[in-house]
Amino acid sequence: MRLTPDEIRALGGVWPLDSDVADLVVERGGAIDLDATLANLESAARYVQRELDDMSRFARQWNASYGDFTDNRDRYGSRRIACTEAIAQLRAVRGRARMPGAWLRRMRARLAALVR
């Protein structure tokens, strides 16, 4: 499903997404491909969670401080949070876009964008 940023906002979403996940957005022809973007976000969230789990396991195993072996813990933590929030938001937008009457809201958003 593809929606323009105006359509996403009209359906209650926030656009643009957090800068931590902006590189995961799939845009085609001025519209955002929600399904591809969600797939990217979910993949990134799984990867970051695995990395955080590995860091935690290493720290416990070797009784080490995170600062002793990585500089990425805070960055991975914020990216995980940003991914989770973006996934929830885009799933909600996608659900609203599939509801009856969503077509009318999208058309109103397109009309409003043309009038500006």
Q: What is the SS3 assignment for the chain?
A: CEECHHHHHHCCCCCCCCCCCHHHCCEECCEEEHHHHHHHHHHHHHHHHHHHHHHHHHHHHHCCCHHHHCCCHHHHHHHHHHHHHHHHHHHHHHHHHHCCCHHHHHHHHHHHHHHC
Domain locations in the chain as residue ranges: 2-115
Mean pLDDT over 51-56 rounds to 95
What's the predicted TM-score (pTM) here? 0.83
* pLDDT band of 98, cuts 50, 70, 90: confident
Specify the higher pLDDT residue, 96 or 104.
96
Mean pLDDT over 4-18 rounds to 88
Mean pLDDT over 96-105 rounds to 77
